[in-house]
């Protein structure tokens, strides 16, 4: 399973626009590369990524073979209330991984 | 060589044989052609001497009275070498009969073929060679400005910065944290940060064993990576931690006030911070329009003539030299090829295609050397690797082999510095 680095500010003021950053360690194997045996290396990419904030979707993306290894996402959201930010991503085998971070809104 | 008299004979012979000489550069037939070389480092100093040997009237523009070499300066930081061993004068070059303008080149008028000096004096040239090395990009890393270098040295230009980093390491308490920040490509000396990391780790392990070095890197892969990482695992497992791009290693900001290095995912407090910042070609290259948007200078791989400024040649770190890394060895090789091309062009002839060699030695410990060597040739408009040539040190080797490579590294430095400055 992929390892992820997540940066959500631990604290924010109500209404503040905060930056969220996620880096998922993943080879994003395109399926177009040939291995030393002359056969194509099987495609293995993350297909989708989504972020919810207190259950509400704030960001989502479909990923494709042209995207780099170790995809990095950075986006902004409005800190409306204290809660849990949930990140999930799904690979080619339809396995979904979930990670969460807490944000404390004053 | 007595190139000039040969040239003149050729010119005379050419006059008799063909009228095409009328189209030849203006310098021929009248005065000795003049070449100005800006920058007295490994590239510029080598080039000035090579041009001089080819019978060309050379002026070397270099404001500093001495040159402090970067290769081996990591041993000064390590504490086992004196900075004076890195310092060279221009006396021998002057004795060759090369004129040295000991001041800053403030600009170039490419149309009039004139280099302007800080004093207001001007130097006319038939061809210009720029070897300006690198400048630190103070606009590229938030928090890292001209004042920050006194607190968080880059030590990426040898001299006072090298001594400062050494002093900071020396005065750090045992148990301290050293943070090193490494930029994305391209930058001067690709394996340099990893040699430095190794030698700092060696110093900590032997002198301040409770301390640690954290290397924050904007890349996932680097020169001689497996050799370095195998050695780190073996020699410095408790003293050196490397974090690559995929691990969140890219530095996004530094704070001199808090002695903190910030990445996308964390803040790292440092007792000593060595920030190797993003770089670009020396200022004069950009000022005269020889550099492109990358900050570096595209060149013709046969003549080193700047693609953006005809009649101006760019060598060494400032040039975009394709597969050739930015190293002293490379600059020295560029300089010889470029001098020959300049002389050939001044004769109105076409330079032949060169082959160039680079070898980069790195010390993983004072008695543990590794190397990478490459051979390059012009292909498809750039300097490309000659496939199958060159190579790196073996992944598995005895201590004797590593010690021998450390000796080779020393020998290379002796040879190249005596060739360039001796």
- Residues B383-399 have pLDDT tens digits of 999 999 999 999 999 99
Mutate to test the interface with B, among A70, A71, A75, A87 (most CBs of B within 10 A): A70
Residues B204 and B270 both lie in one domain? yes
Two tokens, residue B111: 């149309």
- Examine residue A67 and state whether it is found in any structural domain, yes or no: yes
Secondary-structure percent of chain A, ordered helix, strand, coil, rounded to 5: 0, 60, 40
Q: What is the pLDDT of residue B4?
A: 45
Confidence band for B367, pLDDT divided at 50, 70 and 90: very high
Interface of B with A (CB under 8 A): 220, 245-248, 264-266
Question: Tens digits of per-residue pLDDT, B72-118?
Answer: 999 999 999 999 999 999 999 999 999 999 999 999 999 999 999 99
DSSP SS3 for A106: coil
The whole-angstrom distance between B244's CA and the closest CA on chain A is 11
User: B197-230 in b/e burial notation, b at 16+ Cβ within 10 A?
Assistant: bbbbbbbbbeebeebbbbbbbbbeebbbbebbee
**pLDDT for res B14:** 39
Interface of chain A against chain B, CB under 8 Å? Answer: 5-7, 21, 23, 25, 69-70, 72, 74
Residue B264 lies in a domain: yes
Q: How far apart are CA A50 and CA B229, in angstroms?
A: 35
Residues B207 and B184 in one domain: yes
- Could you tell me what percentage of chain B is helix, strand and coil, using 3-state DSSP and rounding each to the nearest 5? 35, 25, 40
Band (pLDDT 50/70/90 cuts) for residue B258 is very high
**Is residue B73 situated within a structural domain?**
yes
Chain B residue numbers touching A72 (CB-CB < 8 A) = 264
Verify that B150 and B120 share a domain, yes or no: no
Number of H helices, E strands in chain B: 10, 25
Query: How far, in Å, CA of B13 to CA of B1, rounded?
Result: 20
Q: Return all residues near B195 (Cβ < 8 A) that are at least 6 apart.
A: B74, B362, B363, B364
Number of domains present in the structure of chain B: 2
Residue numbers of the domain that contains B190: 142-277
Residue A34 placed within a domain: no
Q: Is residue B364 part of a domain?
A: no
The string of pLDDT tens digits covering residues B161-216 is: 999 999 999 999 999 999 999 999 999 999 999 999 999 999 999 999 999 999 99
pLDDT above 50 (res A51) = yes
Distances B73 to B144, B153, B159, B363 between C-alpha atoms, Å: 22, 14, 9, 11
- pLDDT of B24 > 50? The answer is no
- Please answer yes or no on whether B264 and A23 come within 8 Å at the CB atom: yes
Give the gap in angstroms from C-alpha A5 to the nearest C-alpha of chain B. Answer: 7
Exposed, middle or buried by CB within 10 Å (0-12, 13-18, 19+), for A55? exposed
Are A23 and B248 in contact (CB < 8 Å)? yes
Mutate to test the interface with B, among A2, A3, A5 (most CBs of B within 10 A): A5
Nearest residue in chain B measured CA to CA from A69:
B246
Q: Which of B277, B298, B325 is the last residue of a domain?
A: B277
Question: To which residue do tokens 């993306």 refer?
Answer: A61
What would the mean pLDDT of B240-259 be, rounded to a whole number? Answer: 96
Q: What is the CATH number of the domain that holds A8?
A: 2.60.40.10
Residues B69 and B39 in one domain: yes
Distance between A2 CA and the closest CA of chain B, angstroms: 11
User: Given a cut of 80, is residue B401 above it in pLDDT?
Assistant: yes
Q: Is A61 inside a domain boundary?
A: yes
Query: Would B21 be classed as within a structural domain?
Result: yes
Residue B3 exposure: Cα atoms within 13 Å on the Cβ side: 17
pLDDT over 90 (residue B47)? yes
> Looking up tokens 């009275």, which residue turns up?
B65
Q: What is the mean pLDDT of residues A6-23?
A: 96
Burial class of residue B357 (count of CB atoms within 10 Å of its CB; 0-12, 13-18, 19+): middle
Q: Using the beta-carbon criterion (under 8 Å), do A25 and B265 form an inter-chain contact?
A: no
Whether the model pTM is above 0.95: no
Query: Mean of the pLDDT values across residues B7-21?
Result: 41
* Cα–Cα distance for residue pair B223/B338, rounded to 1 Å: 26
Asked if residue B41 and residue B152 are part of one domain, the reply reads no
d(CA B268, CA B65): 39
Q: Give the pLDDT band (50/70/90) at residue B30.
A: low
Name chain B contacts of A25, Cβ cutoff 8 Å: 246-247
Considering the domain architecture, whether residues B27 and B146 belong to the same structural domain is answered as no
Instruction: Decide if A37 is inside a domain.
Output: no
Q: Measure A18 CA to nearest chain B CA, in Å.
A: 14
The reported pLDDT for the residue numbered B7 is: 46
Question: Range of A62's domain?
Answer: 3-29+42-105
Report the alpha-carbon distance of residue B146 to residue B9 in Å, rounded: 53
Strands of the sheet containing B99-101, edge to edge, are B99-101, B57-61, B34-38, B127-130, B312-314
Tell me the ipTM for this assembly. Answer: 0.82
User: Considering B304, B339, B358, which residue would you say is the last residue of a domain?
Assistant: B358
> How far apart, in Å, are the Cα atoms of B247 and each of A21, A70, A81, B67, B264?
13, 9, 30, 38, 10
A36 within some domain = no
Average pLDDT (A64-87) is: 95
Task: Look over chain B and give the mean of its residue pLDDT values, rounded to a whole number.
Answer: 93
- Domain boundary, last residue among B247, B277, B307: B277
- C-beta separation of B230 from B400 below 8 A: no
CATH number at residue B262: 3.50.50.60
Per-residue confidence band for B262, with pLDDT thresholds at 50, 70 and 90 = very high
Domain assignment present for residue B313? The answer is yes
Identify the pLDDT of residue B16: 39
Rounded-to-integer distance, Cα B118 and Cα B283, Å: 14
pLDDT higher than 70, residue B9: no
Burial B99-119 (b: 16+ CB within 10 A, else e): ebbeebbebbebeebbbbbee
- Contact assessment for residue B137 and residue B188, using Cβ atoms and an 8 Å cutoff: no
What's the pLDDT score for residue A1?
64
Our count of domains for chain A comes to 1
CB pairs under 8 A between A and B: 22
Q: How far apart are the first and last CA of chain B?
A: 18
Please tell me the least confidently modeled range out of A30-39, A42-51, B29-38, B278-287.
B29-38
Instruction: Confirm whether B377 is domain-assigned.
Output: no
CA dist B120 → B39, B53, B57, B112 (Å): 18, 29, 21, 15
Mean pLDDT of A82-98: 96
Sign of CA dihedral B320, B321, B323, B327: negative
Query: In chain B, which residue's Cα lies nearest the Cα of A25?
Result: B246
pLDDT of residue A2: 74
Same domain as B103, residue B121: yes
Tell me how far apart the terminal alpha carbons of chain A are, to the nearest angstrom. Answer: 35
- DSSP, collapsed to helix, strand or coil, labels residue B189 as coil
Both B90 and B14 in one domain: the answer is: yes
Tell me the C-alpha distance between B58 and B40, whole Å: 12
């Amino acid at each position: 399973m992929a390892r992820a680095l997540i940066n959500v500010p631990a604290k924010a003021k109500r209404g503040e626009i905060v930056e969220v950053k996620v880096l998922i360690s993943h080879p994003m194997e395109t399926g177009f590369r040939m291995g030393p045996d002359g056969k194509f290396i099987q495609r293995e990419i993350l297909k989708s990524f989504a972020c919810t904030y207190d259950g509400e979707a704030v960001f989502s993306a479909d990923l494709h073979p042209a995207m780099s290894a170790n995809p990095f996402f950075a986006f902004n959201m409005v800190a409306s209330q204290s809660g849990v930010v949930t990140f999930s991503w799904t690979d080619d085998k339809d396995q979904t991984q979930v990670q969460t971070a807490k944000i404390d809104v004053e | 060589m007595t190139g000039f008299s040969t040239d003149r004979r050729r010119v005379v012979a050419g006059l008799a044989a063909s009228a095409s000489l009328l189209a030849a550069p203006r310098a021929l037939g009248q005065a000795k052609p003049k070449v100005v070389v800006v920058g007295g480092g490994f590239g510029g100093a080598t080039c000035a001497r090579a041009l001089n040997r080819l019978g060309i009237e050379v002026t070397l523009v270099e404001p500093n009275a001495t040159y402090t070499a970067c290769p081996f300066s990591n041993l000064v930081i390590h504490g086992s070498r004196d900075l004076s061993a890195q310092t060279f004068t221009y006396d021998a070059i002057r004795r060759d009969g090369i004129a040295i303008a000991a001041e800053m080149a403030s600009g170039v008028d490419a149309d009039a073929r004139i280099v302007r000096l800080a004093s207001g004096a001007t130097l006319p040239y038939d061809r210009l060679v720029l070897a300006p090395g690198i400048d630190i990009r103070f606009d590229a890393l938030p928090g890292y400005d001209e004042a920050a270098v006194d607190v968080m040295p880059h030590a990426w230009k040898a001299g006072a910065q090298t001594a400062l980093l050494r002093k900071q390491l020396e005065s750090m308490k045992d148990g301290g944290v050293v943070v090193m920040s490494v930029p994305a490509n391209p930058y001067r000396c690709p394996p340099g940060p990893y040699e430095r990391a190794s030698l700092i780790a060696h110093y900590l392990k032997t002198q301040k064993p409770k301390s640690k070095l954290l290397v924050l890197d904007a890349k996932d892969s680097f020169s001689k990576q497996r050799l370095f990482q195998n050695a780190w695992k073996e020699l410095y497992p408790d003293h050196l931690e490397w974090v690559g791009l995929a691990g969140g290693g890219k530095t996004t900001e530094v704070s001199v006030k808090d002695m903190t290095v910030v990445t996308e995912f964390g803040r790292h407090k440092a007792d000593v911070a060595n920030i190797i910042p993003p770089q670009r070609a020396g200022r004069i290259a950009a000022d005269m329009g020889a550099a492109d948007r990358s900050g570096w200078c595209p060149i013709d791989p046969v003549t080193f003539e700047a693609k953006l400024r005809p009649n101006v040649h760019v060598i060494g770190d400032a040039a975009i030299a394709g597969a050739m890394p930015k190293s002293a060895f490379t600059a020295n090789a560029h300089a010889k090829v470029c001098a020959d091309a300049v002389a050939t062009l001044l004769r109105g002839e076409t330079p032949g295609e060169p082959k160039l060699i680079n070898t980069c030695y790195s010390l993983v410990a004072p008695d543990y050397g590794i190397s990478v060597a490459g051979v390059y040739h012009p292909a498809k408009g750039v300097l490309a690797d000659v496939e199958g040539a060159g190579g790196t040190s073996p992944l598995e080797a005895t201590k004797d082999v590593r010690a021998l490579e450390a000796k080779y590294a020393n020998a290379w430095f002796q040879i190249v510095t005596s060739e360039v400055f001796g």
